[in-house]
Chain A
């Protein structure tokens, strides 16, 4: 379980995460939604030890993020950020190999190689394994990064807006994959999403943030209500039932 206890983070005089207490990671897929600037990415950075909170404590399976060695946390928790730009030319295989770094410190064992192969197969990247990252499409590159995170073989996987800049087909592909990772591999996935309909379809639980605070935290179906979503995004959102599924309409 990933737990935040009264966590606060400020940038200068602006409070971006305001006294948040939250526990997640017990359900298969948790979606984190909210408008831009709500503090979602900052929350991820706090959990992923890229930022230190100004107050409060973050624990992963009871280990305090601030004091546990980074290398140990990396075997429990994998974080994929937005905008993964790599300056060096590496192939898909090279990238996925890095996922084993927390376990092998760069000296790959047979066991590590099995994990790498499995991750490449799981993301259906076999044909691209020797391609350089800059020769891939956005969707393929995103899959390569997810394969790296998968090879890391952690219980918790945090993905920050993995659907950024992807088209319909690739977004659906990635979301199905995330669902499968949770159901088949027992991963606990937490994703930041902007498309609330994806959140409603694929997530077990939705946590909504606004102005640095958690404003809704419930099973997907309960969050998908016009008054809740309207308050989260401060814009009118209509929710209709289509084939038994709630669908949010916010196109104006």
Chain B
């Protein structure tokens, strides 16, 4: 925002503070400070034994959180901008359905022992490959050809997602209770003890996704005006949306394969980011969404570890808080 030259030279302190708070940079800095404080709290408090052991262990969790919140935050905001709809998440395209399906198929055909013994890297690679392949296929089929309809693509995504979920459920019903137990345990997102190789691989994929999105941040701003206006302003809509969608699917696939289905929280984080950032520009909303993701994950993990004594899962904590927030969003929209 530009400084108003007609404003009095030195407004009183509260007004100055309010003025500073209106600036997106200040808001982002405050949020970053909160994240750093939470990271500090997570790393250094409540250390039972050796500090260096705890640090090594916990910093890996923090890194996993960073990878996940970047992937989910960035992809959800981008997805909202592409679809012009702020109550969707990329999970509508059936990403997490695939994740569950693949694991279920393995347990179904070779039992939980084989599933637990399954090479993590192979599983991760398979899941990433299948999820990316599915979305690319859907995309080139329904958007790349003559029909270029995002809504049709979403609709087909929903239908296929539902189909795979139903199929998965059917297989799960046929499992023996022990296998089912093992499977459902694996289906809750968990950020602790990520495998080092997988973490590194996921981080690389997410970084690649960001490298594709960041140079397009100004074009993303134009896309908020909708396709017709963006095209009128010289945006090569088809190409840009293709690049963005590819980045979204790679990031989501990497993070889902790393920690499990956690997309719902992207909705909370993105919508919080729109109201918190104080600007519609992606230069601000994207990093705000990532940092808010860190706040949610770190906060949720702290609540889970320190208050509940691991009496639950992170996704339970986040989905509970997220569900309440989502209701608030819907009801507020209705009230307007």
Over the window 222-248 of chain B, the binary record of Cβ atoms lying under 8 Å from chain A Cβ atoms (1 yes, 0 no) is 101111110111111100000000000
Q: Which chain A positions have C-beta within 8 A of B222?
A: 98, 101, 106
Selected contact of B234 from candidates A50, A84, A101, CB within 8 Å: A101
Complex CA gap A112/B227 in Å reads 23
Question: B228 contacts A74, CB within 8 Å?
Answer: no
Complex CA gap A88/B221 in Å reads 10
Complex CA gap A80/B225 in Å reads 12
Selected contact of B226 from candidates A75, A86, A89, A99, CB within 8 Å: A86
CB distance from A121 to the nearest CB of B (A): 16
Question: A86 contacts B225, CB within 8 Å?
Answer: yes
Tell me whether A94 and B280 are in contact in the complex, defined as CB-CB below 8 angstroms, given that A102-B233, A106-B219, A152-B233 are known contacts.
yes
Question: A87 contacts B86, CB within 8 Å?
Answer: yes
Question: B221 contacts A106, CB within 8 Å?
Answer: yes
Q: Does A53 contact B (CB under 8 A)?
A: no
Q: Which chain B positions have C-beta within 8 A of A80?
A: 229, 232
Q: Which chain B positions have C-beta within 8 A of A84?
A: 225-226, 229
Q: Which chain A positions have C-beta within 8 A of B221?
A: 98, 106
Over the window 183-225 of chain B, the binary record of Cβ atoms lying under 8 Å from chain A Cβ atoms (1 yes, 0 no) is 0000000000000000000000000000000000011011011
Complex CA gap A101/B224 in Å reads 13
Q: Does A73 contact B (CB under 8 A)?
A: yes
Residue tally, chain B, CB below 8 Å to A: 22
Question: A106 contacts B218, CB within 8 Å?
Answer: yes
Q: Which chain B positions have C-beta within 8 A of A79?
A: 228, 232
Closest to B232 in A: A79
Residue tally, chain A, CB below 8 Å to B: 31
Q: Does A15 contact B (CB under 8 A)?
A: no
Question: A72 contacts B219, CB within 8 Å?
Answer: no
Question: B218 contacts A48, CB within 8 Å?
Answer: no
Selected contact of B224 from candidates A75, A86, A152, CB within 8 Å: A86
Selected contact of B231 from candidates A70, A87, A99, CB within 8 Å: A70
Question: A101 contacts B233, CB within 8 Å?
Answer: yes
Q: Which chain B positions have C-beta within 8 A of A87?
A: 84-86, 224, 226
Question: B233 contacts A74, CB within 8 Å?
Answer: yes
Over the window 102-127 of chain B, the binary record of Cβ atoms lying under 8 Å from chain A Cβ atoms (1 yes, 0 no) is 00000000000000000000000000
Closest to A152 in B: B233
In B52-93, which residues have CB < 8 Å from any A CB? Answer: 84-86
Name the residue in B226, B233, B235, B237 with the highest tally of chain A Cβ atoms < 10 Å from its Cβ: B233
CB distance from A86 to the nearest CB of B (A): 6
Q: Which chain B positions have C-beta within 8 A of A86?
A: 224-226
Complex CA gap A79/B237 in Å reads 15
CB distance from A98 to the nearest CB of B (A): 6
Complex CA gap A81/B218 in Å reads 22
Q: Does A169 contact B (CB under 8 A)?
A: no
Closest to A103 in B: B234
Closest to A72 in B: B234
Q: Which chain A positions have C-beta within 8 A of B280?
A: 88-90, 94
Complex CA gap A119/B218 in Å reads 21
Complex CA gap A78/B230 in Å reads 11
In A51-69, which residues have CB < 8 Å from any B CB? Answer: 69
Q: Which chain A positions have C-beta within 8 A of B231?
A: 48-50, 70
Q: Does A71 contact B (CB under 8 A)?
A: yes
Complex CA gap A107/B283 in Å reads 12
Q: Which chain B positions have C-beta within 8 A of A72?
A: 234
Q: Does A111 contact B (CB under 8 A)?
A: no
Question: A71 contacts B234, CB within 8 Å?
Answer: yes
Complex CA gap A49/B227 in Å reads 11
Complex CA gap A79/B233 in Å reads 8
Q: Which chain B positions have C-beta within 8 A of A105?
A: 218-219
Name the residue in B85, B225, B232, B237 with the highest tally of chain A Cβ atoms < 10 Å from its Cβ: B232
Complex CA gap A89/B225 in Å reads 10
Closest to B238 in A: A70
In B267-313, which residues have CB < 8 Å from any A CB? Answer: 274, 280
Some 16 contacts from A to B, beta carbons below 8 A apart, are A50-B231, A69-B236, A74-B232, A78-B232, A79-B228, A80-B229, A81-B228, A86-B225, A87-B84, A87-B86, A88-B280, A90-B280, A101-B218, A101-B235, A102-B234, A105-B219
6 tightest A-B contacts by CB?
A: A74-B234, A106-B218, A71-B234, A88-B280, A102-B234, A79-B232
Q: Which residues of A contact B (CB under 8 A)?
A: 48-50, 69-75, 78-81, 84-90, 94-95, 98-99, 101-102, 105-107, 152
Q: Which residues of B contact A (CB under 8 A)?
A: 84-86, 218-219, 221-222, 224-229, 231-237, 274, 280
